[in-house]
């Protein structure tokens, strides 16, 4: 691993950090991340696609003046039919893109728009050369450049549509009888122009993927406790507020288990802070195993205080889950010579379970759990109180 990525060792295992360390020079992630990235890129490029389709329609119709200036009737009428036909397709695709009611169609609509412009431009140029050899062919390159930079396509998509446009241009010019040496010269110019566009598109997508990985990793780190890997207090507050509203809508209960490591100061004093950190990591691992469902959450609130947020379970099951946690920590058999409660490391657990109602603040759940935890510690520790 290069030196500038050595810091990733401090945040692994993590799918974003792992992919950054592994690299993505072929512009491809592992399957789950690739799917997530494509969804992200699609959302991120919606506004770009909207601006591009309007701009493309304007430029496409602006070239109508070139047609009128350089081509005379009756051939001009054929060019106008092609140009207006492509414009109608652009308006149709543009309307769907602007409305954004079908996100999955964004890429196909973009490809259809670029493809129609490219094929239309190739046909117009080939027809125009039949009457005026000085009719500009560079419009084909403009379409390809738009595919690489202005539509938000991935490199493989931009390459495919640009290759199709170049192939159509060469075929139309050949059928139109353009001299071979001039056709060769035009194609070489267009190919090198596409090469420049492809390199630029590669770099843009590479940086887009890098930004995606780093931004997602920073989001994870911002919500994660660095010692245990559990969610932190900031993440917990946000999730509690969100689940409280969801539980209110769905009329289900929400349970909170507040956990405190018994006599942890004495543990640090006796075994040292490094051993204390390792003990907290072991406790965090136990709590993490108890929050495997999508809406559950294990949290390190700070110091030796932890919490487990459980969605859609009742008071009896919440108490049982708390007892299972207490027993699992005790079964770790971490010696605790400084404890007056047990010979091994233990936790006290306060359990609260509420069904959110209108006008009820979610802070109430935390207050009930905190009161139960206080009683568990006051009654001798290493126990669960509801």
Length of the chain: 386
Supply the pLDDT for residue 8.
59
Cβ-based burial of 305 (10 A; exposed 0-12, middle 13-18, buried ≥19): middle
How many Å apart are CA 211 and CA 205, to the nearest integer? 10
Q: What is the token pair recorded at 333?
A: 């058999």
Supply the pLDDT for residue 161.
96
Supply the pLDDT for residue 362.
85
Supply the pLDDT for residue 256.
95
- Cα→Cα distances 20→28, 29, 335, 364, Å: 12, 10, 39, 42
DSSP E strands in 152-193: the ranges are none
How many Å apart are CA 120 and CA 34, to the nearest integer? 33
Evaluated on CA atoms 10, 11, 14, 20, the torsion sign reads: negative
Q: Which residue, among 40, 149, 42, has the nearest Cα to 105 in the 3D structure?
A: 42
Radius of gyration of the chain (CA): 32
Supply the pLDDT for residue 111.
95
CB atoms within 10 A of CB 30: 13
Give the pTM: 0.76
Q: Dmax over Cα atoms in the chain, in whole Å? A: 102
Q: Going residue by residue through the chain, which has 386 residues, state the pLDDT in tens, using 9 for 90 and above.
A: 455 555 555 565 678 888 888 889 999 999 999 999 999 999 999 899 999 999 999 999 999 999 999 999 899 999 999 999 999 999 999 999 988 888 889 999 999 999 999 999 999 999 999 999 999 999 999 999 999 999 889 999 999 999 999 999 999 999 999 999 999 999 999 999 999 999 999 999 999 999 999 999 888 888 888 888 899 999 999 999 999 999 999 999 999 999 999 999 999 999 999 999 999 999 999 999 989 888 999 999 999 999 999 999 999 999 999 999 999 999 999 999 989 999 999 999 999 999 998 888 888 999 999 999 999 999 999 999 98
Task: Report residue 291: phi and psi, to 5°.
Answer: -125, 60
Task: Report residue 357: phi and psi, to 5°.
Answer: -125, 165
Supply the pLDDT for residue 310.
95
Q: What is the token pair recorded at 130?
A: 């039949």
Supply the pLDDT for residue 220.
83
Specify the DSSP class assigned to residue 253.
-
Specify the DSSP class assigned to residue 226.
T
Supply the pLDDT for residue 265.
93
Question: Active-site positions?
Answer: 304
């Amino acid at each position: 691993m290069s030196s500038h990525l050595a810091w990733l060792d401090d945040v692994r295992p993590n799918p974003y950090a792992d992919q950054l360390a592994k690299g993505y020079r072929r512009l491809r992630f592992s399957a789950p991340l690739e799917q997530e990235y494509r969804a992200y890129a699609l959302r991120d490029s919606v506004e770009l696609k909207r601006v591009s389709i309007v701009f493309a329609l304007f430029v496409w119709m602006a070239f109508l003046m070139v047609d009128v200036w350089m081509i005379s009737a009756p051939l001009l009428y054929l060019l106008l039919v092609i140009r207006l036909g492509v414009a109608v397709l652009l308006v149709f695709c543009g309307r769907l893109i602007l409305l954004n009611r079908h996100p999955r169609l964004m890429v196909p609509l973009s490809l259809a728009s670029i493809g129609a412009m490219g094929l239309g431009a190739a046909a117009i140029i080939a027809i125009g050369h039949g009457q005026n050899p000085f009719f500009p062919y560079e419009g084909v390159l403009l379409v390809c450049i738009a595919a690489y930079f202005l539509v938000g396509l991935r490199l493989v998509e931009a390459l495919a549509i640009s290759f199709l446009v170049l192939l159509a241009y060469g075929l139309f010019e050949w059928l139109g009888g353009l001299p071979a040496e001039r056709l060769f010269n035009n194609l070489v110019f267009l190919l090198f122009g596409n090469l420049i566009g492809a390199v630029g598109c590669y770099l843009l997508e590479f940086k887009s993927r890098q930004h995606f990985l780093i931004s997602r990793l920073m989001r994870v780190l911002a919500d994660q406790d660095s010692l245990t890997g559990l969610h932190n207090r900031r993440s917990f507050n946000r999730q509690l507020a969100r689940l409280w509203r969801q539980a209110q809508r769905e009329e289900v209960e929400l349970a909170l288990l507040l956990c405190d490591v018994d006599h942890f100061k004495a543990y640090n004093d006796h075994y040292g802070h490094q051993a204390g950190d390792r003990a907290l990591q072991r406790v965090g691992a136990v709590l993490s195993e108890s929050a495997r469902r999508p809406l559950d959450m294990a949290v390190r609130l700070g110091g030796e205080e932890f919490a487990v947020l459980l969605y859609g379970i009742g008071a009896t099951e919440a108490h049982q889950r708390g007892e299972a946690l207490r027993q699992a920590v005790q079964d770790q058999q971490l010696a605790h010579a400084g404890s007056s409660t047990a010979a091994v490391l233990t936790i006290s657990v306060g359990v609260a379970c509420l069904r959110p109602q209108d006008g009820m603040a979610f802070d109430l759940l935390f207050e009930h759990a905190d009161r139960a935890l206080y009683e568990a510690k006051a009654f001798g520790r290493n126990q669960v109180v509801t």
